[in-house]
Structure 1
Amino acid sequence: MNTPAISIVMPVFNAGDTIGEAIESCLQQTFPSFELIVVLDGCTDTSGDIVRSFQDSRIQIIVREHSGVTEASMQAIRSARAPLIARMDADDISHPDRLASQEDFLRSHPGFSAVSGQVRLLNPLGDGMQRYVDWVNSLKNADDIARGRFVECPVIQPSIIVRRSALDAVSGYQRCDWAEDHDLFLRMLRRKMLIGKVDDLVLSWRDGSGRLTRRHPSYAQEQVWKMKAHHLALEERVVERGVAICGAGPIGKKLARLLQVKGVQVNGFFEVNPRRVGERISGVDVAGLSEFGSRWRDSTLIGAVGIPGGREMVRKLAVDQGYREGEDFWCCC
């Protein structure tokens, strides 16, 4: 049997309503050299019957007791034969040229570890998910993705193809208290791995109240902030010089406390609200914008202003003062 160029990895838990369309979208790819590994993770519905009905030699089925998406994904990756791993969820639709476009990118860019693409949201519930997808789609290249890593997850997981060697280098998906996909990308980016982007539409991403990102505790907002603090605390410059936080509101305060728990030196806050200037929060001073760019200048600047337009405001202030986003300055919301 010839070794495929791409292994599509699809963990499944009770997705009988959508898995048929998801598998069909994989089998209709214009790129021919792939295998599809479907992990039935303790399914109790019709998912297994639907997968078996395809009777396609490119499909490998793994049945296991339910243990969650991280373990199911890693079992599929361990079984994969290809040097490229494409993630796919059982409720999404890969566009026909997805594999062809992304494989061509990685073949043409040997220094890149992974590649994503443009995503369309299906059935948005109107609660901000479309804004998130629009933001992800606005990240056009590896630099954008790297700089955006602490704002939100800069890659929609089922849109990505990753080199097997890159996954092995960071020990793949890991069980953690927060989103396993964002955690993986943060570990890759801290290792200076490049995640690229094709400008083609590669995925239709189905929204819904039952989606894991909406119902699992690992994706709760509190866990998101713990994850950001955990990974910020591993950044070399943050460890060496501490941080100054732009924004002394609820987000800035929360992030400061979490960073302090991780042993990070929080040197102070910058704040536009004059009523907060001169206060002390978490044991450190709150300074006004008149001192921005001079006080705590050696610290890593953290943007933590959650109001609409806050990120752009902080970014302009920082760039005007010579901060370099992704080096001595990070937007975190």
Structure 2
Amino acid sequence: MTSIMPVFNGAAYIGAAIESLCQQTRPPVQIVVVDDGSTDDSAARALAAGKELVTLIRQPNRGYHAARNAGLAAAQGDVIHYFDADDIAPPHALEAMIGALSANPGWDAVFGCWRNFWIDALAAERDADANRHLVGVQRGLVLMAALFRRTLLDRMPPFPESGGWAEGPLWTAELVRSGANLGRIGDVVLERRIHHDNDSRKKTLDGLIDLAFKLRKASRASTTKTDGAANS
């Protein structure tokens, strides 16, 4: 099992994120940290926290999705875990998911639950009303709350590297459309730290608008392709 962790100027958070993986009851055998052009000491803190488990890749700043693609290329495991440098994995997270995959050999991936918590008082105050629904245990297809068989990812297209925040959910939508067998468990496998530096939080509104347009475009393309096949 390999965990893939992109980071850009995440020195304040990455140490705790990696420690949470190392302290798992079933830790990964490899943590691929992709330093996406950080100007702080993210890489040094990652190496200090992960020691022999960390494989460090450095690249110019190209975005999180490009970093995830680079991480997958360097991954040695046959099960892949995507993780953000500012999140925390509860101690039994990976054991719960790998156990579910082992018990269900027909599953291509397994998704667990997650919860958010604020570590910045100003961010908590700012988001208290708009994101009240985010408090507590959440369920859904969240990339960082999942394990993927490598065989599935090898069949999937890479993460689009030209777009922004919306490309992640768009990739997940493509995963669902692919017909992959996706399992779910009720365990909380991810704790998302919400703070003023969260890149995806800053871009959520623009990202959702962008995502809506891209999903509509993809739906129209799929409909056109289906109609064309029916008329041929």
Instruction: Give the shorter-chain TM-score range.
Output: 0.7 to 0.9
- The 8 Å contact of residues 63 and 161 in structure 2, kept in 1 or not, is answered as no
- Match of residue 230 from structure 2: none
Of 4, 14, 37, which residue of structure 1 is paired with 2:32? 37
Report the Cα distance in structure 2 between the residues aligned to 1:128 and 1:203, rounded to whole angstroms. 22
- How big is the shift at 1:200? 0.8
SS of match in other structure, 2:32: strand
Correspondence 1:126-275 to 2 at 5 A: 126-132=128-134, 136-137=138-139, 154-177=140-163, 179-216=166-203, 219-235=206-222, 239-240=226-227
- How big is the shift at 1:172? 2.6
Of 27, 33, 57, which residue of structure 1 is paired with 2:52? 57
Structure 2 gap ranges (5+): 119-123, 228-232
Report the Cα distance in structure 2 between the residues aligned to 1:90 and 1:32, rounded to whole angstroms. 16
Q: TM-score, normalised by structure 2?
A: 0.85
- Matched AA of 1:172: P
RMSD across aligned positions (CA)? 2.5
- How big is the shift at 1:174? 1.9
- Match of residue 78 from structure 2: 83
Question: How many positions carry a matched residue from both structures?
Answer: 220
- Matched AA of 2:40: D
- Matched AA of 2:110: V
Correspondence 1:93-132 to 2 at 5 A: 93-123=88-118, 124=124, 125-132=127-134
- The 8 Å contact of residues 113 and 163 in structure 1, kept in 2 or not, is answered as yes
Report the Cα distance in structure 2 between the residues aligned to 1:175 and 1:72, rounded to whole angstroms. 9
SS of match in other structure, 1:172: coil
Call closer, same or farther: CA 1:122–1:47 in 2, change over 3 Å. same
Structure that is richer in helix per residue? 2
- How big is the shift at 1:195? 2.1
- How big is the shift at 1:115? 1.3
- The 8 Å contact of residues 18 and 50 in structure 2, kept in 1 or not, is answered as no
Report the Cα distance in structure 2 between the residues aligned to 1:106 and 1:71, rounded to whole angstroms. 27
User: Which of the pair has more CA radius of gyration?
Assistant: 1
- Matched AA of 1:111: G
- Matched AA of 2:148: V
- How big is the shift at 1:222? 2.1
Report the Cα distance in structure 1 between the residues aligned to 2:211 and 2:134, rounded to whole angstroms. 15
- The 8 Å contact of residues 186 and 231 in structure 1, kept in 2 or not, is answered as no
- Matched AA of 1:93: I
Correspondence 1:280-319 to 2 at 5 A: none
Report the Cα distance in structure 2 between the residues aligned to 1:196 and 1:170, rounded to whole angstroms. 17
SS of match in other structure, 2:141: coil
- How big is the shift at 1:230? 2.4
- Render the CA deviation track for 1:88-138: whole Å, top value 9, x for unaligned: 10000011111111011111222222112111111152254442576942x
- How big is the shift at 1:162? 1.2
Structure 1 gap ranges (5+): 1-5, 138-153, 241-333
Report the Cα distance in structure 2 between the residues aligned to 1:7 and 1:188, rounded to whole angstroms. 20
- How big is the shift at 1:231? 3.0
Report the Cα distance in structure 2 between the residues aligned to 1:116 and 1:10, rounded to whole angstroms. 18
SS of match in other structure, 1:233: helix
Report the Cα distance in structure 1 between the residues aligned to 2:95 and 2:137, rounded to whole angstroms. 25
- The 8 Å contact of residues 40 and 61 in structure 1, kept in 2 or not, is answered as yes
SS of match in other structure, 1:53: helix
Call closer, same or farther: CA 1:135–1:100 in 2, change over 3 Å. closer
- The 8 Å contact of residues 119 and 133 in structure 1, kept in 2 or not, is answered as no
- Render the CA deviation track for 1:289-313: whole Å, top value 9, x for unaligned: xxxxxxxxxxxxxxxxxxxxxxxxx
SS of match in other structure, 1:225: helix
Q: TM-score, normalised by structure 1?
A: 0.60
Of 3, 19, 25, which residue of structure 1 is paired with 2:20? 25
